[in-house]
Amino acid sequence: MQARTANLLGATALAVTDRVLTGAHREVGVSASGAAALVVASAGPGLSVTELGRRVGLSQSAAARMVDSLEQSRLLERRPRQGREVITELTPEGRRAAHTLLEARGAGLTGLIEVLSEHEQEQFADLLAKLLTRLYEDVGSAELLCRLCDRASCTRGAVCPVGQAERDRGS
- Which domains are delineated in the chain? 1-115 (1.10.10.10), 117-171 (no CATH)
Buried b (16+ CB within 10 A) or exposed e, 52-66: bbbbbbbeeeebbeb
Q: How far is it, in rounded angstroms, from Cα 21 to Cα 154?
A: 19
Q: Which DSSP symbol is given to 115?
A: T
66, 37 contact by CB (below 8 A) = yes
Average pLDDT of every residue of the chain:
90
- pLDDT given for residue 159 in this prediction: 87
Residue type, 37: A
Q: What is the pLDDT confidence band of residue 12, given thresholds at 50, 70 and 90?
A: very high
SS3 108: helix
56, 40 contact by CB (below 8 A) = yes
Per-residue pLDDT tens over the stretch 14-65? 999 888 888 777 888 888 889 999 999 998 889 999 999 999 999 999 999 9
Q: Is pLDDT larger for residue 135 or for residue 26?
A: 135
Beta strands in the chain (DSSP E): 47-48, 76-80, 86-90
Per-residue pLDDT tens over the stretch 70-92? 999 999 999 988 888 889 999 99
Q: What is the pLDDT confidence band of residue 66, given thresholds at 50, 70 and 90?
A: very high
